[in-house]
Structure 1
Amino acid sequence: MDWRSVKFDWNRARAFLVTAEEGSLSAAARALGMAQPTLGRQVSALEAELGLALFERAAHGLVLTPSGLELLDHVRAMGEAAGRMSLAAGGRSQEIEGTICISASELYAAHLLPPIVAQLRQQAPGIEVEIVASNAAADLRRREADIALRNFRPEQPDLVARRLRDDHAWLYATPEYLERIGNPTRPEHLSRAEFVGFDTGPALLRALNALGLDLSPANITVTCASQMVQWYLVRAGTGIGMFPETLGATDPGVCRIPVDLPPLDVPLWLTAHRELNTSRRVRLVFDLIANALTRS
């Protein structure tokens, strides 16, 4: 269908565009400051005018149909043109406003995001930031977050992701703890060491032994699901822990284990929902995080 030959009301087109960007009628109504039934009528009127279904209802919102996806590019171009007209008339930059929800592990939320959020607040003060600091992966398809920092590549086709870099994780402990176990210098010396882990399962042991160690479950003496608690346990001299270099190298109270072992390479992925990534607000934050963490 040649969309350029279709003439329709801009208010209806804008209602469609914001609904597509926000993913639901309720969120779009809040973004536009109008009642949800009014917005729904505008979208329905546009569908009736075009004779096409633009959205399908999903369990957690609206999903664009193929016709809706095709129309979105044309309406977005109209929106950008309208924005340029508004700028010319008003003589000021268009503000980007709204809430952005970022999900990250506790360590990344505490040590990587704060300077990025500070920069974002200066660059786009209209954006309010919510950070979900959790070691559980937020479900972006259910709108538990808009953007997520993860250590794995998403498999769902409706998510977009960018691999930013690989973090290097090393073994860290306090100098006092290393002295207490005889200042190990060889991998076999660590067979008598105590380790702080996230659980008593085999995953951590497999990862450590793959680096060249020979550990058993008896070496994992303290466990906690919280990465931050693990870190403070290591800082208190409880044992040895595996942490990213971006954290371990910044704390003078701990040191990297002086044993010749390779690092554990941990990929850092930035992920967003495909539909949310069409939002200027989400795109701005996505690019800001990507640029900051790719350079660092």
Structure 2
Amino acid sequence: MSNAPKTPDWNHIRAFLATAETGSLSAAARQLGLTQPTLSRQVAALEEDLGILLFERVGRTLELTSAGVELLDHTKQMGEAANLFALTASGQSQSIEGEVRITASDMMSAYILPQFLRELEDTAPNLKIDVIAANDIRDLLRREADIAIRHVRPEQPDLIAKLVVEANASLYAADSYLQRYGTPTTREDLKDHRFISYGDTAVMLQYLKDLDIHITDDNFHIGSENGLVAWQYALEGFGLSIMDDLVAQRLPFMRRLVTQEELLKYPVWLATHQELHTSRRIRLVFDMLSDYLKRTYRGNP
């Protein structure tokens, strides 16, 4: 007789995911169109199948156990896949229409999102997408955008936020710059080089100091608050620039500096409002965008 663990029922997994996302059995039951006792039994059945405790009650709220936290990310991926499968199988994705507004940094909007928009157009050709390329944080709760791509976790409690992936960035310079000023091989060498500023140099100086790069305001000779403009100055050889590896490594004349091991890591978050649970178009874009960013940053386009 096989001792393999029992395969959990998808309905039970879905009940766990809804409860984890909403933080309560009653809200999860409303989301799934179930009675609270039914949903509670499904969560309990999943715990029994897995042999672990997924939630613990703290006051009037439910909190994930360490085992629940560990399973949540995998469950979210299953939920995304199931949603996309259901839409594709039924042909509903072709009929989804309306506008979805995505806000992201100007660099993300220009360099990372185009391929995603092609995939989305193939899946849901009737959707209209408005990309708001802005480096400031737009307010999702006031509906300035429907979905935000951010590099810090959104703090508003009414938003749904998901850490999608950890991205890498490094220090780069154009061949033309290196031919003129030489190639720095240590962090100490960087004191003698020119840097591109992305807006507030005081903020950049502190950020670089935290990375053990000690330069001064005198190292910044040119810059722009517009990320695309600042990056173009780096391409033209005006100075050194920190850039997402995914963007910079597309260009053979941009060289990663110092050492290969000294990469910077930063998070990529997706955030949206509660309408994710009721709007097919927002759910579709959110799930497809999450999948696309994971594939792209992990080298599996």
Task: Give matches, 1:115-194, under 5 Å.
Answer: 115-194=115-194
Matched with 2:33 is: 74
Task: Give matches, 1:178-217, under 5 Å.
Answer: 178-217=178-217
> What's the CA shift string for 1:141-186, capped at 9, x where partnerless?
0101111111011111110111111111111111221232232212
Code of the aligned partner of 1:113: L
8 A Cα contact 2:106 2:135, kept in partner: yes
CA shift, 1:68, in A, is: 9.5
Q: 1:70 to 1:182 in 2, by over 3 A?
A: closer
For 2:260 and 2:27, the matched residues in 1 are separated by 57
Residue segments in structure 1 that go unaligned for 5+ positions in a row: 1-66, 76-91
8 A Cα contact 1:173 1:255, kept in partner: yes
Code of the aligned partner of 1:206: Q
For 1:260 and 1:128, the matched residues in 2 are separated by 41
8 A Cα contact 2:164 2:270, kept in partner: yes
CA shift, 1:200, in A, is: 3.8
> What's the CA shift string for 1:32-61, capped at 9, x where partnerless?
xxxxxxxxxxxxxxxxxxxxxxxxxxxxxx
SS in 2 for 1:157: coil
Q: 1:129 to 1:212 in 2, by over 3 A?
A: same
For 2:277 and 2:227, the matched residues in 1 are separated by 29
Q: TM-score, normalised by structure 1?
A: 0.67
8 A Cα contact 1:103 1:147, kept in partner: yes
8 A Cα contact 1:187 1:259, kept in partner: no
Matched with 1:290 is: 290
Matched with 1:80 is: none
Q: TM-score, normalised by structure 2?
A: 0.66
CA shift, 1:139, in A, is: 0.8
Matched with 1:246 is: 246
For 1:252 and 1:109, the matched residues in 2 are separated by 21
CA shift, 1:259, in A, is: 4.4
Aligned residue pair count: 215
Structure 1 consecutive aligned stretches of length 4 or more whose deviation exceeds 6 Å: 67-70
Q: How large is the RMSD of aligned CA atoms in angstroms?
A: 2.2
CA shift, 1:140, in A, is: 0.4
8 A Cα contact 1:149 1:271, kept in partner: yes
SS in 2 for 1:136: coil
SS in 1 for 2:108: helix
CA shift, 1:208, in A, is: 1.4
For 1:126 and 1:200, the matched residues in 2 are separated by 41
> What's the CA shift string for 1:258-289, capped at 9, x where partnerless?
44672221110011012344311100110000
For 2:252 and 2:183, the matched residues in 1 are separated by 18
Residue segments in structure 2 that go unaligned for 5+ positions in a row: 1-25, 35-89, 297-301
Matched with 1:270 is: 270
SS in 2 for 1:152: coil
SS in 1 for 2:232: helix
For 1:72 and 1:293, the matched residues in 2 are separated by 27
SS in 2 for 1:172: strand
8 A Cα contact 2:176 2:237, kept in partner: yes
For 1:98 and 1:200, the matched residues in 2 are separated by 38
Whose Rg is larger? 1
SS in 2 for 1:232: helix
8 A Cα contact 1:185 1:260, kept in partner: no
SS in 1 for 2:149: strand
